[in-house]
Amino acid sequence: MKCCVFVRKVPFRLSRSKNRIVWAMVLSEREGLALLYVPKPDEQRSHMLVIATENVQERLFEDSGANHFEMETEDLTGIGVKLTALAESVSEAELKKFFEREDLF
C-alpha cells in the first residue's frame, strides 16, 4: 500500500539580515510555529530542521528564534508518515527537482 501525504512547500528566509529565500517543507505546525525541513541551501551548509514563524505580510517563513517546539504523539506520527512516504515513493531525482536550489526573489 502506498501512502499519500500532503507536502507543503514554502519559501523560507535563511537569515533575517539577508534576503536569500529558499524552499522548505513544513513537517508540522502548532500554535503559530512551524517545524521546517530545509534541504542544503548551498555546499557549505547541511540540511536543517528549523523552527519558524510565518511572516504573512512578506508571504514567507522566517527563523523564530524559538528553542523548543511542543509536539503531541500525533504530530510525531504525522512527521514519520510524511518522511516514510517520501522515502518509499519519491526517487532522489524527483526530490531534488521538488527542492531545486533557487532564489525565489
Length of the chain: 105
User: Residue 54's closest CA among 81, 24, 83?
Assistant: 24
Whole-angstrom distance, CA of residue 29 vs CA of residue 6: 13
Position 94 pLDDT exceeds 80: no
Q: Are 10 and 26 in contact (CB under 8 A)?
A: yes
The pTM assigned to this predicted structure is 0.65
More confident residue, 58 or 70: 58
Residue type at 26 in one-letter notation: V
pLDDT band at 73 (very low <50, low <70, confident <90, very high): confident
Whole-angstrom distance, CA of residue 4 vs CA of residue 2: 7
User: Across-strand partners of 61?
Assistant: 12, 54
β 21-30/48-55 pair status: unpaired
